[in-house]
Copies of this chain bind each other. A is one copy, B any other.
Amino acid sequence: MTRIAVFISGRGSNLQALIDARARGDLAGDIGVVVSSRTGAPGLERARKAGLHHCVVEPADHASREAFDAELDRVAKQTGCGLICLAGFMRILTPGFAQAWRDRILNIHPALLPAFPGTDCHRRVLDSGVMITGCTVHFVRPQVDAGPIIAQAAVPVLPGDDEKSLADRVLVAEHRIYPLALDLVLQGRVRVIEERVVVDAPVRSDDMLVNPAP
């Protein structure tokens, strides 16, 4: 059974979605460790409640990005993890780390990549006037918010939306597709060929198109 290291920095709502999926039996792997880049991140409490091994690795305690990433690598390996899930992890990994864990680090981004990469994307979505946004699970590459796409969901932007209401609606989709995508990877049904994902599984389009709550 593959073990997963989940890297967080904040509330860890996507961590919770993974914990819940595991509890339901919908994840073909175990969460081996939860690593927070910030002391007191609320997500650590979720890990504790779920009885998961967890720890803090703070950038300030390390002399360089490389040293910080080396510690992340050490923790992941020490806990027997073969896969890393970024879940609101607010640090950019070094190219060396991304290369060492190539096709074994997943990230979720709250927009329909390649549109709106980077931080603060709900604000930019609202400013742009687009009517559809969404979220994307992808393998991590040294470039920020780039890499082969494993799953996406579309979410409507509605009149009167602010960043909070839009983020909340997108989060519903994130919590749906992150466990689905991770499970496909854990089952060995995802291959990367020429930097594109090939999934050996039927795609359910109803997982990709998320209507707002009625």
Residues of A within 8 A of B (CB): 112-115, 127-132, 134, 148-149, 151-154, 156, 158-159, 195-199, 203, 205-206, 208-212
Residue of B nearest to A197 (CB): B129
Closest Cβ of chain B to A108, distance in Å, is 14
Copies, count: 2
Report B-chain residues with C-beta under 8 Å of the C-beta of A134. 132, 154
In whole angstroms, what is the CA distance A206 to B206 when docked? 12
Report B-chain residues with C-beta under 8 Å of the C-beta of A205. 156, 158, 211-212
In whole angstroms, what is the CA distance A67 to B130 when docked? 34
Residue of B nearest to A126 (CB): B196
Residue of B nearest to A192 (CB): B129
Choose one: B132, B149, B154; the contact of A129 (CB below 8 Å). Answer: B149
Choose one: B128, B148, B156, B208; the contact of A132 (CB below 8 Å). Answer: B208
